[in-house]
Structure 1
Amino acid sequence: MSLLVRPSIALHPAWLEAHEEWGEGLHEDGFGLLETDDVRSSEGFRMFVDRLLAKEASPGYDGGTFRWIVEDGEVLGGIALRHKSAQNVEVLGHVGYGLRPSARGRGLAAAALREMLCLAKARSMNRVLLTCFVDNIPSVRTIERCGGVLDRIVTTDRGEVGRYTIRFS
């Protein structure tokens, strides 16, 4: 099964392989990738990883915990937990995740989400908000399988987005 690991410069070649499979663009949810990140060079990748790790220690609006989904040295995806007061949390949700195309359909996203929910509980969060496009059926199923309850559907300029809540008892 997969293992959630902290971002690491040691995984640069494996991360680039996953990035290549996704193709160009910023659609790798859960990695915290910005348009300005230079992930191809060793120095740029180190700066990217350092930025992600710094967010974990950052209180307030910039805080977040990033983990990479790794199996047998292969980076399969990423998952991020925006801390309770993070910027855009009401729009993007507390958790974002993504799997490279070849890793989908194996239950990895649900396993990663369950592990990230444990981290959220450890941070004393009493609920986690998740969002996804309503036509992204695999993501809807993942969220519901992990206890997500649909609160409402919001229409955006990119389509209809479901807003789900997972509450901790």
Structure 2
Amino acid sequence: MKSKRVLTVLFMVFSIAFSFSQERTKKELRTDRKLETANLIQVLIDSKEFTFIGRKAIPQGYSAVDLTTNDNFLEFTPTLIKSEMPFFGRGYSGIGYGGDKGLKFEGNPTEFFVMKGKRSFEIKAVVRGENDVFKIILSVFFEGSATLTINSNDRSSISYYGEITTIENLK
């Protein structure tokens, strides 16, 4: 009788231990989430149609500016790049005061390159606006974040931190 109880208790202990050993660890779940995010980023980059949404602006020589309450985007397609990004920084020439123009332009990219690195994609594009030429460098990291840098002939360089999403999510 005593041996039956011992066997029953041992059976229950091993059953419970075995069931817990089958669960996935937090590290495995985190790794799976990272892989899933990296695959989604890969699909977006391969489609060459996505939107960058800025969360923070980092102007040259100034402190960071929070953009979560400002509507802003930079829409990428192979035939058109459209920007509605705010600008905080120094204008060199051809810019009037108080115009609230920001970095608002759209045009066909004269250059559009996508390069895959070890931890990120780098997209380089050149767009001619109405009065200026904009050089765009977008680094998209596999975990989902992105850094955008826009260089202009008439303004100082500015960087933005944010993320990319599909164009449909913006509308």
TM-score bracket, normalised by the shorter chain, equals under 0.3
* Bigger helix fraction: 1
Higher relative contact order (CA 8 A, sep 6+): 2
Larger radius of gyration: 2
